[in-house]
Chain A
């Protein structure tokens, strides 16, 4: 028996977590459900990690309004939640005189949406800022930023949890029924009851909506693939570099995004697919990314690729439609809010969406602010971000800081232990990766995996056959070394 909540949020992507955190400011019982074993397991971890400015969305749209609002809210929120970010700015580059008109149009749309500081600069000016880039003109947006989206999502969820929200991972909703003026939500972990339900299920929002009989929505899964360059590519670009967007609905074009750690991301692609779980990378799209990257930056060192990944967007815009449809955020049923088509700029908009949802709930429910809401959440200080003096102090206070588990990213055992002790996720290798960066570097887990296995065995008593990569079914090992021979299972 899971008890009754005032508000139940389905889906712990960045938007669901932002909503849960916003709701945790009030004297109500909030529950957050997530079908995967960790928060932010879908597109919230597989995106460019960009704080968008609001250049691309028609004036008056929810996308335009929430993107600009969310961006303005983000820095203060990031400070409270101890999420690193950098307002590195963004250049949309024009390679032909005709594209200058596109830049001017983007600038006009952006200014209409309230985007500050937009300027069109010459190719020479661009060259001074980005020495490796050749273009005739560029639209510069100084307020665009970058941050690790998974850290942000985790931080929101942890802060919500610390302020009383119940977070249930590995909890998949299978049915929703209106009952006694509220909702009964059936899951693989039993039934949940709530007065108010927020459907923040992202890629599955249409399916969740259909569970209450609202089956008019259809989402079109659209895969985006990325390539990641080694962090020694940090001096390639200092800002985000975008082409003029191709004339396809909602498509920004293959772009280059620096990361805080010095990597460069190439992507994403756009490909409508049949299966929502199909996060494969493909030969064709890798080739497209390579060519797109060379087109933007001919000197890009493609031998520095360390990883390829993909995630699936939830688009409400059908494949052949010319203009991208807006977010749908509405109370489609009494005390049931649907959020449909939450694609880009959903990450940037998430703080503003959370505010909007709370306002919508406030109209129906008396929300009293808590006096003891704690907006502050601290992550374990990464030893790699500390100065030498700070490192010395950290290790002196806690020797686990002196044991470096991940050699590529310089992640200490303290950080790994704290990631495994996190209050939300199962103890998977991925939970460590997304919290600490151990396994995100150029060896992609080669050196740290055996050490993490050792820690799971020694510190938590988890035998090898129970160690999971990313979810409960992604078993990493079959057992101990002699097991196959002794069990007679050998082939």
Chain B
């Protein structure tokens, strides 16, 4: 006898960004009739509507779409398939029994779900998380927040910029701000290599003569009320600032593009096991988490390079959730997959023996003419050669089920120089 409505539902999808949309469509296609998508914002598409640049959809549609155009294809399909969606609705809590509590101006609702897909996306790392010393004035924004303000809220954040971090959003914003009449004095990257896609380095920095300072970082923020300058400094091979080499750059704005973190506050609170490396859920090859019937995909699972891969992954999560809801999911013993030398992480974290799988691998540093090897103990199970590998570019490798029939565990390593 609760004081708020409770509803049984087969599937709740948390988040209507690219992952949530594709997962919901896929679940419906695969037979789930009774499903609902919950979205915090009052629009569908998540981050995509603020990504007004093009380059989306090259993998899936072989077209150069803008973010809003890419999102619209899925929004249209969601509507055509009659999938219901609650906007302006915040999931406050998911319980291990898969009760999903949702607050919106319409009221508080509890959904008793058979399955849940976690598609909350990610959030940006902030100034506080990397402890940039200095004052705390107005004018320090994360790149995605600046993008939201400029493209969706019609608010211009500043005139003279320094951008810390060469992640893709930072690069895109360097170009966007330049087009809006601001001066981007430098993009500063602590690593000796960039974290953005090569095409973004070319199209966003080089084409606009914006300096990229590798092996540099911001060591202090100045200005009592509004940013007045930042101090930048070269760093040594341990990424420590080199004393005496500091340089002060006058500016009124510091944008931060220093990493994305899967958003898993909800997941953690109901016992979903998370990877300390990715910050996302630990999943098997069906994208099921440690809580049965709960699946994860998109940037809530791990941060993807391009949205097309988010969509593909989410389609798998939707299919797996459908199988679970329809009672088709098979219980099976799994073998662990582990990241070895030169590999930051591998997804999934476990696989079924004898089943064809595709693994996503992120290397720790750039390399040329290297191989990625799959080992069961000392035994090489599979090896694939790459002309170039880069941390900013996910490697996807298909592994035939025939190769894993008898393995005990898999370790993925970068081999050869």
Contact = CB atoms under 8 A, between A and B. Distances in A.
Nearest to A307: B128
B138 interface: yes
Q: How large is the interface on A (under 10, 10 to 19, 20 to 34, 35 or more residues)?
A: 35 or more
Given A306-B129, A403-B104, A489-B181, A281 B156 contact: no
A407 B88 CA distance: 12
A481 interface: yes
A464 B156 contact: yes
B357 interface: no
B152 interface: yes
Contacts of B332: none
A446 B105 contact: no
A286 B128 CA distance: 11
A376 interface: no
B3 A389 contact: yes
Nearest to B151: A481
A484 interface: yes
Interface string A39-66: 0000000000000000000000000000
B3 A393 contact: yes
Contacts of B142: 446
Interface string B290-310: 000000000000000000000
Interface stretch (A78-86, A183-191, A357-365, A449-457): A449-457
Nearest to A384: B92
A477 interface: yes
B380 interface: no
Interface in A274-299: 277, 279-283, 286
A480 interface: yes
Contact of B159 (A277, A404, A480, A489): A489
A383 interface: yes
Contacts of A443: 123-124, 126
Contacts of B155: 453, 464, 477, 479-481
A402 B107 contact: yes
Contacts of B128: 228, 305-308, 444
Interface stretch (B218-226, B345-353, B363-371, B387-395): B218-226
A457 B104 CA distance: 22
B383 interface: no
Contacts of A400: 105
B103 A478 contact: no
Contacts of B61: none
A332 to B, nearest CB: 32
A450 B2 contact: no
A388 B2 contact: yes
Given A283-B133, A388-B2, A395-B103, A475 B138 contact: yes
Contacts of B126: 306-307, 442-444, 446
B238 to A, nearest CB: 15
Nearest to A394: B108
B145 A449 contact: yes
A404 B182 contact: no
Contacts of A490: 180-183
A491 B182 contact: yes
Nearest to B223: A474
B144 interface: yes
B137 interface: yes
B242 interface: no
Contacts of B3: 389, 392-393
A355 interface: no
B186 interface: no
Contacts, number: 176
Interface stretch (A27-35, A192-200, A334-342, A465-473): A465-473
A485 interface: yes
B115 interface: no
A349 to B, nearest CB: 28
Report whether over half of chain A's contact residues are helix, strand or loop; otherwise say mixed. mixed
A374 interface: no
A445 B144 CA distance: 12
Nearest to B252: A478
B189 to A, nearest CB: 19
B415 interface: no
Given A410-B90, A473-B225, A404 B156 contact: no
Contact of A476 (B123, B139, B144, B148): B139
A307 B182 CA distance: 28
B156 A308 contact: no
A229 to B, nearest CB: 11
Nearest to B222: A280
Given A392-B3, A404-B40, A446-B124, A280 B157 contact: no
B180 A485 contact: yes
A486 to B, nearest CB: 9
Interface of A: 227-228, 232, 277, 279-283, 286, 305-309, 383, 388-389, 391-393, 395-396, 399-404, 407-408, 410, 412, 442-447, 449-450, 453-454, 457, 464, 468-471, 473-485, 489-491
Given A307-B128, A450-B149, A476-B138, 18 more contacts: A283-B219, A306-B126, A309-B136, A388-B101, A391-B108, A392-B2, A399-B105, A402-B105, A444-B127, A446-B142, A447-B123, A449-B149, A450-B152, A477-B149, A478-B156, A478-B158, A485-B181, A490-B180
7 contacts: A280-B135, A389-B3, A402-B104, A446-B144, A449-B145, A464-B154, A469-B137
Interface of B: 2-4, 40, 88, 90, 92, 101, 103-108, 110, 123-124, 126-129, 131, 133-139, 142, 144-145, 148-160, 180-183, 219-220, 224-226, 252, 265, 268
